[in-house]
């Protein structure tokens, strides 16, 4: 028998948060050096989620396209900056490249979801666009971050090989193609793995949320399948566009490697 989601009283939520203390004890006992990071992440994430809850409540109550667009752009900017912050030895302007790339892939996914598949009225209904966009942005951020890290590291390590290819007459894109392809494949592995075990090993987040809210299981499955299709496509597009832009920053118009950028 389906029923609505049960509320969690604040005191019970606070009691459940004590589980983080177990992680802190484990980190302290094993000297992992992650205790502070775990507590900081828990506090920061909680504060951000509470703030977002109030903001989304206001946006859902008064749906306006400009507010939805502003929220989406803020989320996009945070995703681009956070994702590129995880790249070791980043090059200048990397966050802007990620911003453009993630925007392309996420916009494609959101449009397909809202205009073709779900068709809410209006199509930019914040109840659909913001959750959809958030999931796509997160995966685009992770994919671009993983791909950028792998691509730049491979270029630094295999720089003599790339320069040898250029000397043999390869164009710049052809010379670095093996590194680009390897980075793209590596960035898509987490998304493919999640889809491969969905429903067997784990119940995905959106499906779980809908089931808790009382949605019929088959309806929740339909939405989750749509999400997975869009995650695969959106992440691939975002990551590919990011790698192509990054490749352009690493090569000159004369098909030479910008060594100073890699340094």
Q: Considering just the CA atoms, what is the radius of gyration of the chain in Å?
A: 21
Helix, strand, or coil here: 160?
helix
Token pair of 110 as six digits: 């959101």
For 62, list phi and psi in degrees, rounded to 5: -125, 80
Q: What's the pLDDT score for residue 214?
A: 73
The CA distances from residue 145 to 9, 44, 81, 209, 258, in Å, are: 37, 21, 10, 27, 21
pTM, two decimal places: 0.82
Residue whose entry in the numeric block shows the structure tokens 């995966």: 139
CA atoms within 13 Å, Cβ hemisphere of 133: 25
What pLDDT does 92 receive? 80
- Under 8 Å between Cβ of 181 and 240: no
Give the per-residue pLDDT at 4: 59
* pLDDT digits (tens), the chain, 263 positions: 555 567 788 888 888 888 888 888 888 888 878 778 888 888 888 888 888 888 888 888 888 899 899 989 999 999 988 888 777 777 788 889 999 999 999 999 999 998 898 898 888 888 889 888 988 998 999 999 999 999 999 998 999 999 999 999 899 999 999 999 999 999 998 888 887 777 666 666 777 777 767 778 888 888 888 888 888 899 999 999 999 999 998 888 888 888 777 77
Q: How far apart are the C-alpha atoms of 238 and 163, rounded to whole Å?
A: 28
Total residues belonging to the chain: 263
Distance CA 246, CA 239 (A): 10
User: Which of 174, 208, 99, 77 has the alpha carbon at shortest distance from 144?
Assistant: 99
Q: What is the C-alpha to C-alpha distance for residues 54 and 71, in angstroms, rounded to an integer?
A: 13
Task: Specify the pLDDT at position 201.
Answer: 62
Q: Are 134 and 174 in contact (CB under 8 A)?
A: no
For residue 5, the model assigns a pLDDT of 65
Give the model's pLDDT for residue 199. Answer: 67
Give the residue among 204, 226, 254, 239 at the shortest CA–CA distance from 100: 239
- Report yes or no: 191 and 105 within 8 Å, Cβ to Cβ: no
Q: Which of 257, 259, 237, 86 is nearest to 166 (CA)?
A: 257
């Amino acid at each position: 028998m389906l029923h609505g989601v049960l509320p969690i009283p604040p005191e019970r939520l606070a009691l459940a948060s004590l589980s983080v203390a177990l992680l802190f004890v484990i980190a302290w006992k094993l000297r992992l050096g992650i205790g502070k990071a775990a507590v900081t992440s828990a506090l920061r994430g909680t504060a951000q989620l509470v703030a977002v809850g109030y903001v989304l409540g206001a946006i859902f109550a008064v749906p306006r396209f400009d507010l939805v667009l502003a929220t989406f752009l803020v989320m996009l900017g945070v995703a681009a900056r956070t994702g590129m912050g995880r790249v070791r030895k980043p090059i200048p302007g990397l966050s802007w490249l990620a911003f453009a790339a993630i925007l392309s892939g996420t916009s494609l996914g959101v449009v397909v979801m809202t205009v073709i598949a779900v068709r809410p009225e209006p199509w930019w209904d914040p109840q659909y666009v913001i959750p959809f966009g958030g999931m796509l942005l997160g995966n685009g951020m992770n994919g671009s971050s993983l791909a950028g890290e792998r691509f730049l590291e491979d270029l630094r390590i295999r720089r003599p090989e790339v320069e040898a290819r250029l000397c043999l007459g390869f164009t710049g894109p052809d010379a670095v193609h093996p590194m680009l392809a390897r980075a793209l494949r590596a960035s898509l592995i987490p998304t493919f793995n999640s889809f491969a075990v969905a429903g067997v090993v784990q119940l995905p987040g959106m499906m779980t949320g809908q089931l808790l809210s009382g949605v019929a299981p088959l309806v929740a499955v339909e939405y989750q399948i749509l999400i997975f299709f869009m995650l695969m496509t959106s992440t691939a597009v975002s990551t590919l566009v990011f790698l192509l832009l990054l490749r352009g920053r690493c090569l000159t118009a004369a098909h030479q490697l910008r060594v100073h950028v890699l340094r």
